[in-house]
Amino acid sequence: MPPSQSCAGCGHAPVCQASGYDRPELSGLRHIAERIGPLRTGEYLYRPLSPFRAIYAVQTGMAKTVAVDVAGREQVVAFHLPGEMIGLDAIDREHHDNAVVALGKTQFCRFPFNAIRQVATQQPDVPWHLMNAASHRISHLQLSGGNYLAEERFAAFLVDLRDRRASLGLSTDHLPLPMSRADIGNHLRLTTETVSRLLGRFRQRGMIQLDRHGVNLLDLDGLRELGQSLLVH
């Protein structure tokens, strides 16, 4: 099956709209998009050493980016929601140096990089749109690299996920957590045990409610206060 071209008829226009892709100055991007997937839990969109040929966005579902260092240690570098750009860290490289893995049934949009550069010659806002995404990602990484307590980082993680879902028009009362505790912990520099304990602590305080597929945030203000130092304003 050849990848379907263009965004015409895509049922997921709303999240793209929320991410700013519906601006007429970016119309060219919509015409070069290819759909990838669905991939299922644990399947790879790309791997370390895969040649860099395209940028991606999640269309539906969720994904993680994982860096693998020389010693083989894995580092979960980001979780991706629909509409969020994937692969900006490889633009200055020949090859990807990390992997992108689906978390649950996930579809992607693929933007071939050659096509992006071609489109950019006609629509000069295109590179600046990517630049804005990169700029935002830099801000986020700078903050999250900071020296904060486990509780602060974890609260910020939950609130950040909620806020990103909110800005995409996704449900905010319930946060699905399709990744493992190990993934969350790895991402936040915590062990699975510590993640479990923090979830338990927040539950005991009545700040969250846990179910099999995720959490309900019962005290968003409380969590936001705990994580405030780590949240972009």
Partner DNA sequence: CGTGATGTTGATTCTAATCAATAAAGGTGG
Partner DNA sequence: CCACCTTTATTGATTAGAATCAACATCACG
Ordered DSSP codes for 145-201: TS---HHHHHHHHHHHHHHHHHHTT--SSEEE--S-HHHHHHHHT--HHHHHHHHHH
Q: Is residue 151 involved in binding DNA (CB under 7 A)?
A: yes
Range 40-79, binding its own copies (CB under 8 A) = 65, 67, 69-71, 73, 75, 77-78
Q: How far is the CB of 101 from DNA (least distance, A)?
A: 12
Q: Is residue 147 involved in binding DNA (CB under 7 A)?
A: yes
Task: Out of 27, 50, 123, 194, point to the residue binding DNA (CB under 7 A).
Answer: 194
> Would you state the structure tokens that stand for residue 87, as one six-digit string?
């692969």
Task: Out of 88, 180, 220, 231, point to the residue binding DNA (CB under 7 A).
Answer: 180
Q: Coil, strand, or helix at residue 59? A: strand
Task: Out of 127, 169, 200, 206, point to the residue binding its own copies (CB under 8 A).
Answer: 127
Q: Which stretch binds DNA (CB under 7 A): 15-23, 80-88, 125-133, 180-188?
A: 180-188
Q: Who contacts 173 (Cβ-Cβ below 8 Å, separation ≥6)?
A: 216, 217
Q: How far is the CB of 106 from its own copies (least distance, A)?
A: 21
Query: Residue written as tokens 């580092």?
Result: 75
> Would you state the structure tokens that stand for residue 146, as one six-digit string?
């900071």
Q: Is residue 150 involved in binding its own copies (CB under 8 A)?
A: no
Binding site for DNA (CB under 7 A): 41, 147, 149-151, 180-182, 185, 189-197, 199-200, 210, 212
